[in-house]
Amino acid sequence: MDAKEVEVTILDRTYRLRANAGDEQYLQSAAALINRLADEYGKRFAHSDKQDLLAMASLGPITELQKLQAKPPAPSDDRLQGRLKQINDLFSN
């Protein structure tokens, strides 16, 4: 895929990135989520600067990502079907 320049704005700062064309919507969505979470934290908690809000907005989603990555992968349909066949074969003999 061709890389293209993408601009995202996070907490009133604009960042230029090079990304695959298909990734632009995800980058824009991620930036919007960071801004929304930072805004929510800013309304609920005392903070000295935007860096505090950015740190807090990042912790929640990254923690959830780590939890998902720690889980064993779900078996694929092919693996599951193969395993079910093995079990059936055991009972058939």
Between 28 and 80, the higher pLDDT residue: 28
Q: What is the pLDDT of residue 78?
A: 79
Over residues 10-20, mean pLDDT: 95
User: Does the reported pTM lie above 0.85?
Assistant: no
Do residues 14 and 35 make contact, with C-beta atoms less than 8 angstroms apart?
A: no
* Integer Cα distance of 58 and 35 in angstroms: 10
- Residue 12 is predicted with a pLDDT of 94
pLDDT band at 14 (very low <50, low <70, confident <90, very high): very high
**pLDDT for residue 4:** 92
Domains of the chain, by residue range, sit at: 3-92
**pLDDT reading at 93 higher than 70:** no
In angstroms, the CA 77 to CA 85 distance is: 12
User: Measured between alpha carbons, how far is residue 35 from residues 11, 21, 30 in Å?
Assistant: 6, 22, 9
Q: Average pLDDT for residues 59-66, to the nearest whole number? A: 90
pLDDT in tens, 41-50: 999 999 889 9
